[in-house]
Amino acid sequence: MAIPISRTHLIALTLLLFAVTVFADCTCDPKDLEKDPKTVTTRYKVGALFLILVASGLGVAAPLAGKKIKALSPEGDVFFMIKAFAAGVILATGFIHILPDSFEQLSSPCLKGSAWENFPFAGFVAMVAAIATLMIESTATGYYRRMHFKGEKSTVAGLDADVEHSGHVHMHTHAAHGHSHDDATVVGSAEATGRLELIGNVLELGIMVHSVIIGVTLGTAGSLSTIKPLMAALCFHQFFEGMGLGGCIAQAKFKWRAMLTMAMFFCLTTPLGLAIGIGITNIYNENSPTSLIVQGVFDSAASGILIYMALVDLLAADFMNPRVQNNPRIQLGSNISLLLGAGCMSVLAKWA
Protein backbone atom coordinates (compact mmCIF):
# COMPACT_ATOMS: atom_id res chain seq x y z
CA MET A 1 0.00 0.00 0.00
CA ALA A 2 1.41 3.38 -0.98
CA ILE A 3 2.21 5.73 1.90
CA PRO A 4 0.89 9.28 1.33
CA ILE A 5 3.54 12.00 1.60
CA SER A 6 2.20 15.44 2.47
CA ARG A 7 3.52 18.72 1.09
CA THR A 8 4.95 19.46 4.56
CA HIS A 9 7.09 16.30 4.47
CA LEU A 10 8.32 17.04 0.93
CA ILE A 11 9.37 20.58 1.94
CA ALA A 12 11.09 19.29 5.07
CA LEU A 13 13.02 16.58 3.21
CA THR A 14 14.12 19.07 0.53
CA LEU A 15 15.44 21.49 3.14
CA LEU A 16 17.19 18.76 5.09
CA LEU A 17 18.89 17.27 2.04
CA PHE A 18 20.10 20.75 1.07
CA ALA A 19 21.59 21.21 4.53
CA VAL A 20 23.33 17.84 4.41
CA THR A 21 25.02 18.60 1.06
CA VAL A 22 26.98 21.48 2.59
CA PHE A 23 28.00 19.72 5.81
CA ALA A 24 31.07 18.26 4.08
CA ASP A 25 32.55 21.62 3.03
CA CYS A 26 35.96 22.02 4.66
CA THR A 27 37.49 25.48 4.59
CA CYS A 28 38.26 26.04 8.27
CA ASP A 29 40.69 24.01 10.36
CA PRO A 30 38.88 21.22 12.25
CA LYS A 31 39.06 20.98 16.02
CA ASP A 32 41.76 18.78 17.51
CA LEU A 33 39.40 16.28 19.17
CA GLU A 34 40.14 12.98 20.82
CA LYS A 35 39.11 10.11 18.55
CA ASP A 36 38.47 6.42 19.23
CA PRO A 37 38.79 3.57 16.68
CA LYS A 38 36.18 3.95 13.97
CA THR A 39 35.01 0.33 14.25
CA VAL A 40 34.16 0.87 17.94
CA THR A 41 32.40 4.21 17.48
CA THR A 42 30.43 2.91 14.49
CA ARG A 43 29.15 -0.02 16.56
CA TYR A 44 27.85 2.37 19.22
CA LYS A 45 26.29 4.63 16.60
CA VAL A 46 24.41 1.77 14.95
CA GLY A 47 23.10 0.73 18.35
CA ALA A 48 22.08 4.34 19.02
CA LEU A 49 20.20 4.41 15.73
CA PHE A 50 17.89 1.58 16.80
CA LEU A 51 17.51 2.87 20.38
CA ILE A 52 16.52 6.35 19.17
CA LEU A 53 14.09 4.83 16.68
CA VAL A 54 12.37 2.88 19.49
CA ALA A 55 12.35 5.89 21.86
CA SER A 56 10.86 8.13 19.17
CA GLY A 57 8.17 5.56 18.39
CA LEU A 58 7.20 5.11 22.04
CA GLY A 59 7.07 8.88 22.61
CA VAL A 60 4.86 9.72 19.65
CA ALA A 61 2.66 6.65 20.22
CA ALA A 62 1.83 7.46 23.87
CA PRO A 63 -0.59 10.35 23.15
CA LEU A 64 -1.98 8.58 20.07
CA ALA A 65 -2.94 5.69 22.35
CA GLY A 66 -5.57 8.05 23.73
CA LYS A 67 -7.59 7.24 20.62
CA LYS A 68 -8.07 3.73 22.05
CA ILE A 69 -7.46 4.21 25.80
CA LYS A 70 -10.23 6.28 27.36
CA ALA A 71 -8.09 7.60 30.24
CA LEU A 72 -5.66 9.21 27.73
CA SER A 73 -8.35 10.52 25.39
CA PRO A 74 -7.87 14.10 24.04
CA GLU A 75 -11.25 14.90 25.61
CA GLY A 76 -10.11 13.72 29.08
CA ASP A 77 -8.65 15.76 31.95
CA VAL A 78 -5.37 13.81 31.95
CA PHE A 79 -4.69 14.84 28.37
CA PHE A 80 -4.35 18.51 29.42
CA MET A 81 -1.52 17.51 31.73
CA ILE A 82 0.14 15.36 29.05
CA LYS A 83 0.01 18.28 26.62
CA ALA A 84 1.39 20.68 29.25
CA PHE A 85 4.34 18.35 29.87
CA ALA A 86 4.95 17.98 26.13
CA ALA A 87 4.67 21.75 25.58
CA GLY A 88 7.28 22.30 28.30
CA VAL A 89 9.57 19.87 26.49
CA ILE A 90 9.11 21.69 23.18
CA LEU A 91 9.62 25.10 24.81
CA ALA A 92 12.86 23.98 26.49
CA THR A 93 14.00 22.41 23.20
CA GLY A 94 13.69 25.78 21.48
CA PHE A 95 15.16 27.96 24.25
CA ILE A 96 17.75 25.65 25.83
CA HIS A 97 18.84 23.18 23.15
CA ILE A 98 18.57 24.92 19.79
CA LEU A 99 18.78 28.71 20.18
CA PRO A 100 22.09 28.79 22.13
CA ASP A 101 23.67 26.50 19.51
CA SER A 102 22.55 28.78 16.69
CA PHE A 103 24.06 31.83 18.45
CA GLU A 104 27.34 29.93 18.83
CA GLN A 105 27.33 28.82 15.19
CA LEU A 106 26.47 32.21 13.68
CA SER A 107 29.01 34.10 15.83
CA SER A 108 31.87 31.62 15.32
CA PRO A 109 35.38 33.02 14.70
CA CYS A 110 35.46 30.84 11.57
CA LEU A 111 32.93 33.19 9.96
CA LYS A 112 34.80 36.09 8.42
CA GLY A 113 33.29 39.54 8.08
CA SER A 114 32.05 42.25 10.41
CA ALA A 115 28.40 41.44 9.72
CA TRP A 116 28.64 38.12 11.57
CA GLU A 117 30.40 39.78 14.49
CA ASN A 118 28.17 42.84 14.86
CA PHE A 119 24.66 41.56 14.18
CA PRO A 120 22.75 38.84 16.11
CA PHE A 121 21.65 36.81 13.10
CA ALA A 122 20.52 33.86 15.23
CA GLY A 123 17.96 35.94 17.15
CA PHE A 124 16.88 37.69 13.96
CA VAL A 125 16.23 34.43 12.08
CA ALA A 126 14.35 32.99 15.08
CA MET A 127 12.16 36.11 15.22
CA VAL A 128 11.45 35.99 11.48
CA ALA A 129 10.56 32.29 11.71
CA ALA A 130 8.13 32.96 14.57
CA ILE A 131 6.50 35.84 12.67
CA ALA A 132 6.30 33.73 9.51
CA THR A 133 4.61 30.93 11.47
CA LEU A 134 2.06 33.41 12.81
CA MET A 135 1.36 34.76 9.32
CA ILE A 136 1.01 31.29 7.82
CA GLU A 137 -1.40 30.24 10.56
CA SER A 138 -3.43 33.43 10.27
CA THR A 139 -3.59 33.31 6.46
CA ALA A 140 -4.48 29.61 6.35
CA THR A 141 -7.17 29.99 9.02
CA GLY A 142 -8.63 33.02 7.24
CA TYR A 143 -8.68 31.16 3.94
CA TYR A 144 -10.37 28.20 5.62
CA ARG A 145 -13.07 30.48 7.06
CA ARG A 146 -13.72 32.22 3.75
CA MET A 147 -14.02 28.93 1.89
CA HIS A 148 -16.61 27.62 4.37
CA PHE A 149 -18.61 30.83 4.40
CA LYS A 150 -18.31 31.45 0.64
CA GLY A 151 -21.55 32.77 -0.77
CA GLU A 152 -23.02 33.26 2.70
CA LYS A 153 -21.90 36.79 3.59
CA SER A 154 -25.17 37.50 5.30
CA THR A 155 -24.54 34.54 7.56
CA VAL A 156 -21.05 35.78 8.44
CA ALA A 157 -22.47 39.16 9.36
CA GLY A 158 -24.97 37.49 11.67
CA LEU A 159 -22.47 35.21 13.40
CA ASP A 160 -20.62 36.11 16.54
CA ALA A 161 -17.95 33.44 16.43
CA ASP A 162 -15.28 32.89 18.99
CA VAL A 163 -13.18 29.90 17.95
CA GLU A 164 -10.86 28.99 20.79
CA HIS A 165 -7.38 27.51 20.19
CA SER A 166 -8.30 24.39 22.08
CA GLY A 167 -10.89 23.38 19.54
CA HIS A 168 -13.90 24.34 21.72
CA VAL A 169 -16.27 26.61 19.78
CA HIS A 170 -18.87 29.09 20.97
CA MET A 171 -21.19 30.21 18.17
CA HIS A 172 -24.12 32.62 18.48
CA THR A 173 -26.57 33.03 15.61
CA HIS A 174 -29.36 35.50 15.00
CA ALA A 175 -32.66 33.91 14.08
CA ALA A 176 -33.41 36.65 11.56
CA HIS A 177 -30.86 35.16 9.19
CA GLY A 178 -32.64 31.82 9.10
CA HIS A 179 -29.60 29.70 10.03
CA SER A 180 -29.59 27.30 12.97
CA HIS A 181 -27.19 27.15 15.89
CA ASP A 182 -26.15 23.65 14.82
CA ASP A 183 -25.08 24.78 11.33
CA ALA A 184 -22.81 27.46 12.80
CA THR A 185 -21.37 25.04 15.31
CA VAL A 186 -20.53 22.50 12.59
CA VAL A 187 -18.72 25.17 10.55
CA GLY A 188 -16.85 26.43 13.62
CA SER A 189 -15.84 22.92 14.64
CA ALA A 190 -14.56 22.19 11.13
CA GLU A 191 -12.55 25.41 11.21
CA ALA A 192 -11.03 24.57 14.59
CA THR A 193 -10.12 21.08 13.38
CA GLY A 194 -8.49 22.54 10.25
CA ARG A 195 -6.43 24.89 12.39
CA LEU A 196 -5.27 22.07 14.66
CA GLU A 197 -4.19 20.08 11.60
CA LEU A 198 -2.16 23.09 10.43
CA ILE A 199 -0.55 23.36 13.87
CA GLY A 200 0.39 19.67 13.77
CA ASN A 201 2.01 20.01 10.33
CA VAL A 202 3.99 23.17 11.18
CA LEU A 203 5.16 21.70 14.49
CA GLU A 204 6.36 18.54 12.77
CA LEU A 205 8.29 20.63 10.24
CA GLY A 206 10.18 22.44 13.01
CA ILE A 207 10.88 19.22 14.90
CA MET A 208 12.05 17.35 11.78
CA VAL A 209 14.59 20.05 10.86
CA HIS A 210 16.05 19.95 14.36
CA SER A 211 15.98 16.14 14.61
CA VAL A 212 18.02 15.50 11.48
CA ILE A 213 20.66 18.02 12.58
CA ILE A 214 21.15 16.42 16.00
CA GLY A 215 21.29 13.04 14.25
CA VAL A 216 24.15 14.28 12.04
CA THR A 217 25.89 15.63 15.17
CA LEU A 218 25.85 12.19 16.80
CA GLY A 219 26.77 10.43 13.54
CA THR A 220 29.93 12.52 13.09
CA ALA A 221 31.13 12.28 16.71
CA GLY A 222 34.51 10.53 16.93
CA SER A 223 34.92 9.93 20.67
CA LEU A 224 33.10 7.45 22.91
CA SER A 225 33.19 10.02 25.72
CA THR A 226 30.95 12.15 23.50
CA ILE A 227 28.87 9.39 21.90
CA LYS A 228 27.74 7.58 25.07
CA PRO A 229 26.11 10.50 26.95
CA LEU A 230 24.79 11.96 23.70
CA MET A 231 23.19 8.63 22.78
CA ALA A 232 21.35 8.41 26.13
CA ALA A 233 20.33 12.05 26.06
CA LEU A 234 18.94 11.82 22.53
CA CYS A 235 16.79 8.81 23.44
CA PHE A 236 15.08 10.86 26.17
CA HIS A 237 15.05 13.91 23.90
CA GLN A 238 13.21 12.09 21.12
CA PHE A 239 10.82 10.39 23.53
CA PHE A 240 9.69 13.66 25.10
CA GLU A 241 9.61 15.52 21.79
CA GLY A 242 7.55 12.68 20.33
CA MET A 243 5.03 13.13 23.15
CA GLY A 244 4.66 16.78 22.21
CA LEU A 245 4.08 16.03 18.56
CA GLY A 246 1.83 13.05 19.30
CA GLY A 247 -0.37 15.21 21.52
CA CYS A 248 -0.92 17.73 18.72
CA ILE A 249 -1.59 15.00 16.16
CA ALA A 250 -4.11 13.30 18.44
CA GLN A 251 -6.01 16.51 19.17
CA ALA A 252 -6.13 17.50 15.50
CA LYS A 253 -8.20 14.39 14.71
CA PHE A 254 -6.22 13.30 11.67
CA LYS A 255 -7.25 10.07 10.03
CA TRP A 256 -5.29 7.01 11.18
CA ARG A 257 -3.39 6.75 7.92
CA ALA A 258 -2.24 10.39 8.16
CA MET A 259 -1.32 9.99 11.84
CA LEU A 260 0.81 6.93 11.14
CA THR A 261 2.56 8.73 8.27
CA MET A 262 3.39 11.76 10.45
CA ALA A 263 4.58 9.51 13.29
CA MET A 264 6.74 7.51 10.87
CA PHE A 265 8.43 10.63 9.49
CA PHE A 266 9.18 11.86 13.00
CA CYS A 267 10.63 8.50 14.05
CA LEU A 268 12.91 8.28 10.99
CA THR A 269 14.39 11.81 10.87
CA THR A 270 16.98 11.47 13.67
CA PRO A 271 18.10 7.97 12.56
CA LEU A 272 18.33 9.36 9.00
CA GLY A 273 20.55 12.20 10.19
CA LEU A 274 22.62 9.73 12.23
CA ALA A 275 23.10 7.47 9.20
CA ILE A 276 24.16 10.44 7.07
CA GLY A 277 26.56 11.52 9.81
CA ILE A 278 28.18 8.07 9.88
CA GLY A 279 28.57 8.21 6.10
CA ILE A 280 30.31 11.61 6.04
CA THR A 281 32.42 11.23 9.19
CA ASN A 282 35.73 11.31 7.33
CA ILE A 283 35.00 14.48 5.35
CA TYR A 284 32.78 16.39 7.78
CA ASN A 285 34.08 19.61 9.30
CA GLU A 286 31.66 21.29 11.66
CA ASN A 287 33.77 24.49 11.61
CA SER A 288 33.61 25.20 7.89
CA PRO A 289 31.87 28.57 7.26
CA THR A 290 29.22 27.01 5.02
CA SER A 291 28.36 24.34 7.58
CA LEU A 292 28.15 26.89 10.38
CA ILE A 293 25.91 29.25 8.42
CA VAL A 294 23.50 26.60 7.14
CA GLN A 295 23.29 24.75 10.46
CA GLY A 296 22.96 28.03 12.39
CA VAL A 297 20.16 29.34 10.17
CA PHE A 298 18.27 26.04 10.31
CA ASP A 299 18.64 25.85 14.09
CA SER A 300 17.51 29.46 14.51
CA ALA A 301 14.45 28.96 12.32
CA ALA A 302 13.54 25.72 14.12
CA SER A 303 13.85 27.39 17.53
CA GLY A 304 11.60 30.28 16.46
CA ILE A 305 8.95 27.87 15.19
CA LEU A 306 9.05 25.65 18.29
CA ILE A 307 8.98 28.55 20.77
CA TYR A 308 6.03 30.15 19.01
CA MET A 309 4.12 26.87 18.77
CA ALA A 310 4.75 25.98 22.42
CA LEU A 311 3.69 29.36 23.80
CA VAL A 312 0.85 30.31 21.47
CA ASP A 313 -0.68 27.14 20.09
CA LEU A 314 -0.13 24.76 23.01
CA LEU A 315 0.24 26.58 26.33
CA ALA A 316 -1.84 29.73 25.81
CA ALA A 317 -4.60 27.74 24.12
CA ASP A 318 -4.96 25.21 26.94
CA PHE A 319 -4.12 27.34 29.98
CA MET A 320 -6.73 29.95 28.95
CA ASN A 321 -9.33 27.27 28.29
CA PRO A 322 -12.34 27.73 30.66
CA ARG A 323 -12.26 23.99 31.35
CA VAL A 324 -8.78 24.37 32.87
CA GLN A 325 -9.40 27.69 34.61
CA ASN A 326 -12.64 26.48 36.20
CA ASN A 327 -11.02 23.31 37.58
CA PRO A 328 -8.23 23.95 40.16
CA ARG A 329 -7.17 20.30 40.01
CA ILE A 330 -6.53 20.37 36.25
CA GLN A 331 -4.93 23.82 36.53
CA LEU A 332 -2.49 22.71 39.24
CA GLY A 333 -1.72 19.47 37.42
CA SER A 334 -1.05 21.36 34.16
CA ASN A 335 1.27 23.83 35.90
CA ILE A 336 3.26 21.04 37.53
CA SER A 337 3.39 19.07 34.25
CA LEU A 338 4.66 22.13 32.39
CA LEU A 339 7.45 22.68 34.91
CA LEU A 340 8.37 18.99 34.85
CA GLY A 341 8.52 18.89 31.05
CA ALA A 342 10.61 22.05 30.77
CA GLY A 343 12.81 20.92 33.67
CA CYS A 344 13.51 17.43 32.31
CA MET A 345 14.43 18.78 28.89
CA SER A 346 16.59 21.54 30.40
CA VAL A 347 18.58 19.02 32.44
CA LEU A 348 19.31 17.03 29.26
CA ALA A 349 21.09 20.11 27.86
CA LYS A 350 24.09 19.10 30.00
CA TRP A 351 24.71 16.17 27.63
CA ALA A 352 22.89 17.09 24.38
Residue with the bigger pLDDT between 163 and 244: it is: 244
Percent share of the chain, pLDDT over 70: 72
pLDDT tens by residue, 286-344:
778 888 888 888 888 888 888 988 898 788 888 998 889 999 999 999 999 999 989 98
Most confident of 119-128, 198-207, 268-277: 119-128
Rounded to the nearest integer, the mean pLDDT of the chain is 75
**Could you tell me the pTM of the whole model?**
0.67
> How does DSSP classify residue 3?
P
**Single-letter code of the amino acid located at 330:** I
pLDDT tens by residue, 114-171:
778 789 999 999 999 999 888 887 887 777 677 766 655 544 444 444 444 444 444 3
Distance CA 126, CA 124 (A): 5
Q: How confident is the model at residue 24 (pLDDT cuts 50, 70, 90)?
A: very low
Q: 3-state SS string over 128-190?
A: HHHHHHHHHHHHHHHHHHHHHCCCCHHHHHHCEEEECCCCCEEEECCHHHCCCHHHHHHHHHH
The dihedral sign for the CA sequence 138, 143, 149, 152:
positive
Residue 343: per-residue pLDDT? 92
Radius of gyration for the chain, computed over Cα atoms and rounded to the nearest angstrom: 22
